[in-house]
Structure 1
Amino acid sequence: MNDFWAAVKEAGLTPEIREGLRKRYRMRGQKALDAVESGRVEKYNDFFVVKGRNEDYIVEDDFCTCKDFTYRGRCCWHILAVQIAALTGQYTPKDAWYLDTLGQNRWT
């Protein structure tokens, strides 16, 4: 873990850390902060899930199901949001398997 992410883990989302995220990741950093602060990061038993404007995105390690990640193959704001949430504990825990929730309400 590099020094920046170690500082996030140790200090949390201080004004300096927030500014560092914006400088380092620009709009992606801001979107990640917004997602964390608005409670849109959930931790299921199998994956982290970030709720976007139109759909949910599964994040596992350095992989995301969003189009930005698929096309660029690099870090998207969903991955940043999960990294921030995991280090600061700012996520909603879900005692369920996300893959099991996908089919719910489909047949009703």
Structure 2
Amino acid sequence: MKEIWEEIRDAGGLTPQVRERICRSYRNRGEKALAAADGGLVWKYNDFFIVTGCSDEYIVEDDFCTCKDFIYRGRCCWHILAVRIAIAAGSYQEKDGWYIDRWKMIR
């Protein structure tokens, strides 16, 4: 069975079948991740991917996220899924800059 990310790339985007598979496999986390990827809430900076959540922005790097869900459970959260989906579908926003510089300004 192909990885979901390969299916997205091979299909050239998020087909209804792939969306259904994501929702079946990841349930509520999959639905939130698809909404974030569809809604332009995934940003690629020079240093990190950022996902805008309900109450904050979360740094995602590989299989790590700064959200409380990930830190508490230590497993894949919907922010990580959103980044994976956005990368495979090419649907993330690009920001030419360093998130760490922006973070310093807003904190």
Common fold, TM-score beyond 0.5? Answer: yes
CA distance 1:82–1:105, change in 2 (3 Å): closer
Deviations, residues 28-58 of structure 1 (Å, cap 9, x unaligned):
0000000011100000000000001110000
What is the Cα-based RMSD across aligned positions, in Å? 1.1
Partner of 1:68: 69
Q: Moved runs in structure 1, 4+ residues, more than 3 A? A: none
Partner of 2:81: 80
Separation in structure 2 between the aligned mates of residue 49 and residue 105 of structure 1, nearest angstrom = 15
Partner of 2:6: 6
Gaps of 5+ in 2: none
Aligned residues: 105
Partner of 1:24: 25
Percentage identity across paired residues of the two chains: 58
Partner of 2:99: 98
Separation in structure 2 between the aligned mates of residue 66 and residue 105 of structure 1, nearest angstrom = 18
